[in-house]
């Protein structure tokens, strides 16, 4: 009888525990790290090196949030996820945030119980073929077999594009980036389609990048950005404004090297937490932005370090330049 009682008490405690939802910030601060969902390896965006250190522009968003909340950009636990696993992992609370080249769409934003906290890379879907095929436009791809990764908006865009342009193709779907690439390399399919950034990243990783051509057509808008669970507005604000801090820092010319300089620019002083009390509104210490910029750098530093024109990936800023420099990158003011 006693055992039975114990069992029943224990089981109700378990059932009760399932219902408890603590604030993500206090959760993160008590466990001492941010669990961040990233890709299984997409060079320049999120990839681990031989020593297990993660780098990339998506990774830098995770690091910025860790710097803001814990004061240490290294306190991130990276959880590599496939495209299919990512939303479930976030919904279930396995990760605190998702920063995994994820496209912001209305369906995802409004029906999955998730919120997109901003855009850290404006992308679009493109095609890559082997130069030996002699194809110069996506319009010539009728009848081709197309390699594509499962569970992505890419699948939907491709179907829409095929229908719109009357192009008949065969889609070969794989679960992971690696298998998609293997399929393309081996010749299981003629074309690889994904976000253009991904294509550049894969082309850079190929044995001989000149053997592959990225076709000029961009068939979709793919704003990629970090995602959080719905229902925790404080955490949502932290992630959104950590990213905005990096963008604003670039705009104001603050880099990791010049972060200590005190100037007479009031907005810069507000951004760096040396005046005003915006930190209280997000529930963080005054040095949260200082930690982000000093440890991770501003947006431009992150971009040039990971995917910029001088890296093997070699992506120009293009639309991802600041709004003042011909791009569309724009952060609301720190005020």
Give contact residues for another protein (rule: CB under 8 A).
4, 7-8, 11-12, 15, 18-19, 21, 83-84, 87-88, 91, 107-108, 111-113, 133, 141-145, 150-152, 155-156, 158-160, 162-163, 169-175, 179, 182-183, 186-188, 190, 229-231
Least distance in angstroms from the C-beta of 183 to another protein: 7
Least distance in angstroms from the C-beta of 167 to another protein: 11
Q: Report phi then psi at 270, rounded to 5.
A: -65, -45
SS3 state of residue 66: helix
Render 263-314 in DSSP notation, one character per residue. -S-HHHHHHTTSSS-HHHHHT--TTHHHHHHHHT--HHHHHHHHTSTTSSS-
Q: Which is nearer to another protein, 160 or 261 (CB)?
A: 160
Least distance in angstroms from the C-beta of 93 to another protein: 10
Least distance in angstroms from the C-beta of 211 to another protein: 15
Q: Which is nearer to another protein, 179 or 311 (CB)?
A: 179
Least distance in angstroms from the C-beta of 141 to another protein: 8
Strand-pair category, 145-149 with 170-174 = parallel
Q: Which is nearer to another protein, 8 or 23 (CB)?
A: 8
Render 222-260 in DSSP notation, one character per residue. EEE--EEETT-HHHHHHHHHHHHHHHHHHHHT--TTTTT
Query: What does the block give as tokens for 182?
Result: 């293997």
Contacts for 258 with CB less than 8 Å, ≥ 6 apart? none
DSSP state of 174: E
Query: How far apart (Å, rounded) are the C-alpha atoms in residues 6 and 29?
Result: 33
Least distance in angstroms from the C-beta of 111 to another protein: 5
Q: Which is nearer to another protein, 53 or 170 (CB)?
A: 170
Q: Which is nearer to another protein, 68 or 189 (CB)?
A: 189
Buried b (16+ CB within 10 A) or exposed e, 251-278: bbebebeebeeeeeeebbbbbbbeebeb
Query: How far apart (Å, rounded) are the C-alpha atoms in residues 128 and 176?
Result: 17
Q: Which is nearer to another protein, 74 or 170 (CB)?
A: 170
Least distance in angstroms from the C-beta of 170 to another protein: 6
Q: Which is nearer to another protein, 38 or 90 (CB)?
A: 90
């Amino acid at each position: 009888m006693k055992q039975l009682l114990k069992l029943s008490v224990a089981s109700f405690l378990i059932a009760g525990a399932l219902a408890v939802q603590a604030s993500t910030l206090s959760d993160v601060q008590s466990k001492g790290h941010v669990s961040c969902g990233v890709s299984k390896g997409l060079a320049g965006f999120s990839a681990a090196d031989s020593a297990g250190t993660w780098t990339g522009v998506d990774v830098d968003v995770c690091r910025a949030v860790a710097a803001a909340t814990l004061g240490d950009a290294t306190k991130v636990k990276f959880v590599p996820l496939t495209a299919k696993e990512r939303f479930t992992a976030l919904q279930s609370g396995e990760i605190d945030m998702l920063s995994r080249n994820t496209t912001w769409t209305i369906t995802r934003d409004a029906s999955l119980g998730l919120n997109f906290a901003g855009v850290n890379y404006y992308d679009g879907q493109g095609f890559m073929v082997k130069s030996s095929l002699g194809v110069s436009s996506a319009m010539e791809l009728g009848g081709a077999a197309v390699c594509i990764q499962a569970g992505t908006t890419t699948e939907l865009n491709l179907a829409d594009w095929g229908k719109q342009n009357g192009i008949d193709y065969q889609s070969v779907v794989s679960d992971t980036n690696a298998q998609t690439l293997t399929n393309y390399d081996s010749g299981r399919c003629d074309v690889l389609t994904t976000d253009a950034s991904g294509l550049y990243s894969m082309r850079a990783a190929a044995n001989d990048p000149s053997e592959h051509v990225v076709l000029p057509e961009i068939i979709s808008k793919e704003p990629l950005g970090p995602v959080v669970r719905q229902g925790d507005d404080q955490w949502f604000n932290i992630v959104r404004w950590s990213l905005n801090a990096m963008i604003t820092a670039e705009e104001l010319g603050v880099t990791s090297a010049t972060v200590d300089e005190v100037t007479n620019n009031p907005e810069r002083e507000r951004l760096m937490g040396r005046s005003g009390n915006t930190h209280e509104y997000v529930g963080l210490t005054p040095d949260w932005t200082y930690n982000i910029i000093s440890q991770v750098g501003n947006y431009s530093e992150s971009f040039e370090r990971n995917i910029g024109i001088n890296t093997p990936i070699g992506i120009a800023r293009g639309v991802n330049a600041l709004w003042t420099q011909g791009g569309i990158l724009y952060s609301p003011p720190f005020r």
